[in-house]
Structure 1
């Protein structure tokens, strides 16, 4: 007899409604890119454009809510097996721009990670985990749903497009006051899985750490330790269980200074020509 998980629907409904609020904010920002002419005087839609915005928000938001409990267990395998279409992926990537930027570099304050240069398997897994409710992300949860982003093929498509983007050479860094300690912790606790240069492992779904923003790395380390990031690797969680804040700060600072390979980094001042 198969026992149903009675907690997951309730959890999903909570994130549906919380996510709907964030989704409205997301659509409002997105409208400034595609419904408005951006200028110092005009940064928000008005009149008919606002009506279109509200209609779009309601339509997509309600669609998101109706699809939240859809079975998504096989999406990771399906998306991994699919061949990504870069042209379609560029269209799907418009959903990502508001938070991750047109270059996929995230934000310098670390609120949103750099996704350019990340392993395709890692991006696919995180999207699949978020929309299946395996990773808590109220902002991205409604955006990642089938009725908004699309099915497994769309996940493969947007991942393929992200794969064409080069990384920034200037991620957010820490204070740089305890790098020796950070290096020691990295080689003791992280290098075995993520590599000596923070390159990660595509086949084992281990993310590239080199070039990631300091505050994002710091936050994820703390969430993994506390269990807030529920899809985290259990071995990693055990390895950092006794870490103090100073340990996390030193480790994240060192990681943020690891340089990715030159062939996957963009020239200084580069802008994504697809969205200029």
Structure 2
């Protein structure tokens, strides 16, 4: 059998075998990671931010993603771990002086070198195109190549001088193992911050409750002041005399109250001239209350005054 024109087909054209695994072009993959936003798939433009897993985003795309609260919001795998703007860090990138991508207009008649990078390492000078491993510091956002951090070992940032630790170094667009380590660090960091917030909240509640109890319960000074006010309003005056009296030839200790020498003056209401007779007749000390047994009327009660 032959096809039109007398051609004879071969076996691989008629018999379909297993499909070959399509290999991803490494250059295209690097360009997609280092030149385009992982969320909006647009070209990276300043301000550029990076998450705790080392992915690059446009800050505008992250803000729009966080502000979108609609129910029909499509889940984004690339940004599912970003809950607030605090989970990303704005990067401080060093421009590549040899890069002229935005300066010249590309008309199609010129070779476009996709491996040329817009940013470089400020210490070593390596281009940030994916061929070399780059990382950033979570405290300040400065970006360096991994070679620079290994060759020039320091506990402070090479660019701004902010101190950092090994946990603050985040690899940009790392492999699966790097992402796994960074994810574990992210979970531990968020759990730690959550526990710290709970402890601070408990401490603030305890301090507030202590302040309320101190305001409600009067102290000893308040109680003393209240007693003084009661004594002054009732008109009673107490005078305590501190004297040195000898008892069996021994002098008393100064500062102690001598009971024999204390005098308390009490005025009876019946003797006071300021009160009226109607007010005085209320009390039992008045003369009208002191009546003899014959003058008192004998009421019919269980305990009659009949003797």
TM (norm. structure 1) is: 0.19
> Greater helix share, 1 or 2?
1
Higher relative contact order (CA 8 A, sep 6+): 1
TM (norm. structure 2) is: 0.17
Give the greater-gyration-radius structure (CA): 2
